[in-house]
């Protein structure tokens, strides 16, 4: 009986030991599975690229690349936009911009005159600018100009008659009339340049050229004055229109017909007095009648 009890006790101890071992082994396996599962979830997914993905990527790169001709066109457009307003832009065979720079220059200065300085410059097409200074004004005023076809033809004819670039004539007479102002002609073309300064001349062509530029100056200075008046001093408009009427009668403007569009605008401009609008419309009738003869 005693021996049976001892064997039963040993059996219980062995059984209990086996149960503990099995429980520990199961717990360890469960932990390993949990750790492995977490590790798999945290790992970055690996993307495999098949041949179709590579083809799509190559197609995208090819599609996004800008053609060379488009790049050249954009570069030319930027160059053209950077050109000055009074210069005509052309392009050569390679698409590079070519600027029509001023060729003809005229200057007049007399400190005692109401318009003490006038600078006129233009290209072969008559496009350029006028810069002038009024007496008692410190700053110069600059405006773009475009000569009419008739004016430009007259001027070019006189320049050719003078043969200015190849001539050595000074145009200045023995007599000095500096009290009437000083004039200067200049031509810059094809790397050559020449200028001539005088205050009085007996050369008929030189005198005619100075008169043409003086008329251009008076016309475009008047255009500036009437534009300022219509915006800031409308009561000056009647006086300015009377002055234009007088200049046209004395043939003191370059091309009266060129001013018809501006006079039509003044005739409809309600900012200026009615009397000025009516005078603008009457001037149009006078110019058209004169041009029709």
Count structural domains, the chain.
Answer: 1
- The reported pLDDT for the residue numbered 109 is 96
Whole-model pTM: value is 0.67
Q: How far apart are CA 128 and CA 155, in angstroms?
A: 14
**Which of 6-20, 142-156, 191-205 shows the lowest per-residue confidence on average (mean pLDDT)?**
6-20
Query: Would the pLDDT of 41 be above 50?
Result: no
Q: How far apart are CA 121 and CA 104, in angstroms?
A: 6
The two structure tokens encoding residue 270? 């309600």
Q: How far apart are the first and last CA of the chain?
A: 159
Q: How far apart are CA 173 and CA 175, in angstroms?
A: 5
- The reported pLDDT for the residue numbered 38 is 43
Asked whether residue 134 is domain-assigned, the answer is yes
Q: Which domain holds residue 145?
A: 81-88+99-202
Residues 69-105: pLDDT tens digits? 444 444 444 444 444 444 444 444 444 444 578 999 9
Residues 101-147: pLDDT tens digits? 899 999 999 988 999 999 999 999 999 999 999 987 889 999 999 99
Query: How many other CB atoms are there within 10 angstroms of residue 1's CB atom?
Result: 4
Asked whether residue 159 is domain-assigned, the answer is yes
- The reported pLDDT for the residue numbered 190 is 92
Asked whether residue 53 is domain-assigned, the answer is no
Asked whether residue 109 is domain-assigned, the answer is yes
Asked whether residue 7 is domain-assigned, the answer is no
Q: Hunting for tokens 């001037």 — which residue is that?
A: 283
Asked whether residue 29 is domain-assigned, the answer is no
Asked whether residue 34 is domain-assigned, the answer is no
What's the average model confidence in pLDDT over 136-162? 95
123, 100 contact by CB (below 8 A): yes
The two structure tokens encoding residue 246? 């007088």
- The reported pLDDT for the residue numbered 136 is 74
Asked whether residue 120 is domain-assigned, the answer is yes
Residue by residue, DSSP assigns 207-224 as HHHHHHHHHHHHHHHHHH
Provide, rounded to the nearest whole percent, the portion of the chain with pLDDT above 70. Answer: 66
Mean pLDDT score of the chain: 79
Query: Would the pLDDT of 200 be above 50?
Result: yes
């Amino acid at each position: 009986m005693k021996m049976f009890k001892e064997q039963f006790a040993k059996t219980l101890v062995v059984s209990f030991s086996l149960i503990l071992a099995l429980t520990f082994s199961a717990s360890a396996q469960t932990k390993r599975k949990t750790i492995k599962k977490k590790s798999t979830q945290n790992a970055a997914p690996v993307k495999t690229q098949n041949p179709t993905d590579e083809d799509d990527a190559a197609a995208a790169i090819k599609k996004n690349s800008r053609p060379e001709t488009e790049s050249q066109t954009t570069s030319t457009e930027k160059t053209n936009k950077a050109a000055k307003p009074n210069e005509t832009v052309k392009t050569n065979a390679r698409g590079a911009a070519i600027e029509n720079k001023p060729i003809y220059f005229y200057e007049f200065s007399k400190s005692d005159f109401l318009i003490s300085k006038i600078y006129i410059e233009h290209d072969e097409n008559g496009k350029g600018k006028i810069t002038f200074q009024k007496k008692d004004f410190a700053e110069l005023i600059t405006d773009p100009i475009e000569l009419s076809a008739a004016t430009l033809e007259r001027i070019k004819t006189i320049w050719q008659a003078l043969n200015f670039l190849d001539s050595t004539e000074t145009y200045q007479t023995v007599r000095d009339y500096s009290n009437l102002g000083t004039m200067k002609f200049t031509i810059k073309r094809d790397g050559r340049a020449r200028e001539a300064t005088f205050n009085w001349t007996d050369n008929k062509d030189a005198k005619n050229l100075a008169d043409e530029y003086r008329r251009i100056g008076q016309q475009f200075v008047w255009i500036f004055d009437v534009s300022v008046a219509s915006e800031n001093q409308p009561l000056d408009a009647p006086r300015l229109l009377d002055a234009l009427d007088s200049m046209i009668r004395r043939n003191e403007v370059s091309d009266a017909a060129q001013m018809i569009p501006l006079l039509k605008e003044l005739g409809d401009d309600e900012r200026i007095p009615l009397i000025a609008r009516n005078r603008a419309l009457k001037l149009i009738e006078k110019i058209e009648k004169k041009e029709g003869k």
